[in-house]
Homo-oligomer: A and B are copies of this chain.
Amino acid sequence: MAPSETLTAERILEATEEVLRRHGPAKATVVDVARALGVSHGSVYRHFRTKAALREAVTKRWLDRTSQELAGIVAEQERDPEQRLRAWLRALFDAKRRKAGHDPELFATYMVLTRESGEAVPEHIADLTSQLTDIVRAGLDAGTFTATDPAVTARAVFQATGRFHDPCYADEWEAPGVEAEYEAVVDLVVRGLRGA
């Protein structure tokens, strides 16, 4: 039952997150992870081919947690599409801002990881725009939205609101007036979806 039960990929990922939290992305080594688990670093390489792969897996896990939070909103059939869209964008902004504000160092760590992770971030973005596409399509079906291609429009919505979910803007999310700016952009976008 002790941590020395069996060495799984999951346990390595948890230990890696902990090491990253403690040491930061620059100083966190595979040797540190192995030490935290009480094994030799060779064992870690049995589960992850390279250090980069290990870091990418950690990043993917972290990003997926956000995606899953938002997936619930897409499924809320009882709310109309515009409300779902507003709730989804709000949840995305809040989730990112909460993570950035609550533990800035860990967030900075993940910003470094997302920069170096080749596939994880594009996949995450594809995931999120796919969710958005579902909402846009629902709006088209209901007749409340106007668009030629829901996927293209969803991507446009995602990019237009980037200032409120793209990590590169994280240090402006606590500035006074951000809420008003968020409302202005979302209103503009929602009106763009409605009107032809």
- A residues in contact (CB < 8 Å) with B: 146, 152-153, 155-157, 159-163, 168, 180-181, 184-185, 187-196
Contacts and interface: CB of A to CB of B under 8 A. Distances in A.
B160 A189 contact: yes
Contacts of A191: 146, 191-193, 195-196
A187 B146 CA distance: 12
Contact of A192 (B152, B163, B195): B195
A196 B179 CA distance: 21
Contacts of A187: 156, 192
Interface of A is mostly: helix
Contacts of A161: 160
Contact of A163 (B162, B181, B184): B162
A82 B194 CA distance: 18
Contacts of A181: 155-156, 159
Contact of A188 (B160, B162, B180, B184): B160
Given A156-B187, A160-B161, A189-B192, 7 more contacts: A152-B184, A156-B188, A160-B188, A168-B168, A191-B191, A192-B192, A195-B195
